[in-house]
């Protein structure tokens, strides 16, 4: 059967009928942690880090060159991914974890929750970083390990979870399985990390025998086991597996087999180790006979951290791929991320798309792909600026049409990004202000950049295009007034 006929059948299935549970694809979403746009060869051919498995995934799939995490740090990025809601609308930030309660509210729709309702087996392996119900001790959140944990993955749509409560070096160092800790932390562990170019020692509580070097291999084995056993354990249901890797986030503690392998430093070592994880998961799909009917997404939660950028610059490698900025910043390097979609016979292989997409778009896209109506699943509101009267999901916009036809014209509605940025087509309005409430950011701090002509965001065009700058400022101000901050 020709490729064109296969694509026509695919489009027809979703235009003329809702696919049955058996016809729906498995979905595997692999999320790197602090991996830059330029850290894999598919997005940075001049890069120094070898990523053969990710590059192969790109050759077999569709690469989005203008994809954006929902935030430029861990918590907002993951919140936007799982809810389809812009974290800036809810004032979601990493600092909310200090309150010791879940970031996602009980009533909020989530991607895994929706897929679970549609007959999917929903599994998560890896880093959560979206909070739990915790006790407060000395004004700090603390787990009560004598009780099942609440407010985590199992309370937001996942059938199972094996992984980390937060970042890979966050106190306490321990693994969770479902609602219980695998081993209660009973000792302390000291590790080294880079901070502003200097190596510093960090002392944290940890489970007995916990080894940072073994965390990623342990999680990878769990993910491979889930894939390998799904045909026998899934009861005929499709699989949704969200693999939230702890790599290459600090501390950079590569497994023994990868220590020194890159010749470029520890950061490059752990990126190469992540690439091997991708290879193992893809091999498991192939061996289990699931590869042909599995949609695989590979991406990263935000841009590279400052010490990663510094270390890789010393090795003549652009970790952010030439984009300005890094993690936690509003510049492109903070949130433009690698994004690959592979689905044999359904999504074109070896092609690229210039469509602007955001993590908030993944939820509505998968709703539509599985035969649902995003407008009936995700939260609704009128368009922020009143450009249309059509009811739209608050922030997520399905890009299923791009998966069907990558070369087709695609214009995403304006996208408010991070703390203080708006993207609309080639134009980006951005303020470098950090830690400032949107209502308090002065107009003069914003710059207007033409990403088509100036991708490095070096030439402020406000004076030359004052009406464009005013239009985007008005959009940003209107969005800011409609925020409903998390409390």
Clarify whether residues 366 and 447 are in a common domain: no
- pLDDT digits over 17-48, tens only? 567 776 899 999 999 999 999 999 999 999 99
Neighbours of 475 (CB within 10 A): 20
pLDDT of residue 19: 75
Return the bridge partners of 299, or none: 31, 339
pLDDT of residue 23: 83
Specify the CATH number for the domain of residue 329: 3.40.720.10
Return the bridge partners of 294, or none: 26
Clarify whether residues 320 and 408 are in a common domain: yes
Clarify whether residues 69 and 136 are in a common domain: yes
> What pTM does this model have?
0.94
- Region of residue 311 (phi > 0: left; psi between -120 and 50: alpha; otherwise: beta): alpha
Query: Which residues, in sequence order, are CB contacts of 246 under 8 Å at separation 6+?
Result: 33, 126, 127, 164, 167, 168, 215, 216, 219
- Angstrom distance (rounded) from CA 400 to CA 361: 10
Would you say residue 202 lies in a domain? no
Specify the CATH number for the domain of residue 423: 3.30.1120.10
pLDDT of residue 476: 92
- Angstrom distance (rounded) from CA 16 to CA 91: 40
pLDDT of residue 5: 37
Would you say residue 186 lies in a domain? no
Clarify whether residues 375 and 437 are in a common domain: no
The parent domain of residue 429 ranges over: 419-487
Would you say residue 473 lies in a domain? yes
Q: What is the 3-state secondary structure (H, E, C) of 55-104?
A: HHHHHCCEEEEEEECCCCCHHHHHHHHHHCCCHHHHCCCHHHHHHCCCCC
Clarify whether residues 282 and 366 are in a common domain: yes
Clarify whether residues 169 and 226 are in a common domain: yes
- Here the tokens at position 288 are 């289990």
Name the domain boundary from 353, 387, 413: 413
- Here the tokens at position 319 are 């970790």
Clarify whether residues 340 and 483 are in a common domain: no
The residue among 116, 118, 160 whose CA lies nearest residue 22 is 118
Largest distance between two CA atoms of the chain: 66
Would you say 383 and 377 are in contact if contact means Cβ atoms under 8 Å apart?
Answer: no
Identify the helix (H) or strand (E) that includes residue 160. strand 160-164
- Angstrom distance (rounded) from CA 135 to CA 130: 16
In tens digits, the chain (487 residues) has pLDDT values of 333 433 434 444 444 356 777 689 999 999 999 999 999 999 999 999 999 999 999 999 999 999 999 999 999 999 999 999 999 988 899 999 999 999 999 989 999 999 999 999 999 999 999 999 999 988 899 999 999 999 999 999 999 999 999 999 999 999 999 999 999 999 999 999 999 999 999 999 999 999 999 999 999 999 999 999 999 999 999 999 999 999 999 999 999 999 999 999 999 999 999 999 999 999 999 999 999 999 999 999 999 999 999 999 999 999 999 999 999 999 999 999 999 999 999 999 999 999 999 999 999 999 999 999 998 998 765 444 444 434 455 799 999 999 999 988 888 999 998 779 999 999 999 998 887 777 788 899 999 999 999 999 999 999 999 999 999 999 999 888 877 765 5
Pairing of strands 239-244, 121-127: parallel
pLDDT of residue 441: 87
Name the domain boundary from 398, 413, 428: 413
Would you say residue 115 lies in a domain? yes
Clarify whether residues 303 and 431 are in a common domain: no
Clarify whether residues 426 and 298 are in a common domain: no
Clarify whether residues 430 and 373 are in a common domain: no
pLDDT of residue 387: 42
Domain count, the chain: 2
pLDDT of residue 320: 98
| Size of the chain in residues | 487
Clarify whether residues 369 and 268 are in a common domain: yes
Would you say residue 272 lies in a domain? yes
Would you say residue 125 lies in a domain? yes
Would you say residue 292 lies in a domain? yes
Name the domain boundary from 393, 413, 433: 413
Clarify whether residues 320 and 435 are in a common domain: no
């Amino acid at each position: 059967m020709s490729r064109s006929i296969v694509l026509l059948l695919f489009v027809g299935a979703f235009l003329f009928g809702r696919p049955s549970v058996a016809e729906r694809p498995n979905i595997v979403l692999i999320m790197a942690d602090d991996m830059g746009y330029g850290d894999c060869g598919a997005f940075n051919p001049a890069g120094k880090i070898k990523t053969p498995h990710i590059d192969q995934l790109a050759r077999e799939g569709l690469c989005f060159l203008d994809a954006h995490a929902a935030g430029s740090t861990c918590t907002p990025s993951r919140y936007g991914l799982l809810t389809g809601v812009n974290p800036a609308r809810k004032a979601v930030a990493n600092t909310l974890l200090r309150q010791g309660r879940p970031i996602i509210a009980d009533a909020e729709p989530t991607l895994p929750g929706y897929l679970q309702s549609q007959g999917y087996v929903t599994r998560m392996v890896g880093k959560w970083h979206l909070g739990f119900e915790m006790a407060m001790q000395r004004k700090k959140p603390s787990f009560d390990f004598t009780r099942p944990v609440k407010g985590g993955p199992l309370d937001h749509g996942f059938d199972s979870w094996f992984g980390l409560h937060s970042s890979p070096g966050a106190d306490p160092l321990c693994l969770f399985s479902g609602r219980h800790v695998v081993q209660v932390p009973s000792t302390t562990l000291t590790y080294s990390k880079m901070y502003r170019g200097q190596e510093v020692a960090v002392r944290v509580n940890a489970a007995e025998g916990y080894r940072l070097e073994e965390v990623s291999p342990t999680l990878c084995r769990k993910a491979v086991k889930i894939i390998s056993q799904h045909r026998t354990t899934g009861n005929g249901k499709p699989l949704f597996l969200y693999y939230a890797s702890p790599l290459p986030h600090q501390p950079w503690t590569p497994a023994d087999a990868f220590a020194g392998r890159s010749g470029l430093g520890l950061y490059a070592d752990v990126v190469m180790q992540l690439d091997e994880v991708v290879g193992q998961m893809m091999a498991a799909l192939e061996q289990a006979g699931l590869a042909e009917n599995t949609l695989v997404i590979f991406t990263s939660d935000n841009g590279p951290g400052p010490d990663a950028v510094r270390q890789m610059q010393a090795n003549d490698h652009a970790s952010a791929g030439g984009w300005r900025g890094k993690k936690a910043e509003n510049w492109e390097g903070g949130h433009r991320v690698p994004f690959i979609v592979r689905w044999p016979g359904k999504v074109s292989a070896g092609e690229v798309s210039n469509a602007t997409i955001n993590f908030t778009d993944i939820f509505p896209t998968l709703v539509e792909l599985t035969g649902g109506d995003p407008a009936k699943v995700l939260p609704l509101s009128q368009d922020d600026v009143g450009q249309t009267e059509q009811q739209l999901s608050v922030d997520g916009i399905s890009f299923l049409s791009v998966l069907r036809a990558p070369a087709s014209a695609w214009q995403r509605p304006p996208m408010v990004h991070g703390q203080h940025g708006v993207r609309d087509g080639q134009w980006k309005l951005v303020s470098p202000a950090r830690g400032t409430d949107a209502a308090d950011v002065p107009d003069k701090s914003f710059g207007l950049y033409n990403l088509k002509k100036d991708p490095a965001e070096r030439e402020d065009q406000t004076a030359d295009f004052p009406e464009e700058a005013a239009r985007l400022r008005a959009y940003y101000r209107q969005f800011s007034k409609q925020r409903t901050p998390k409390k």
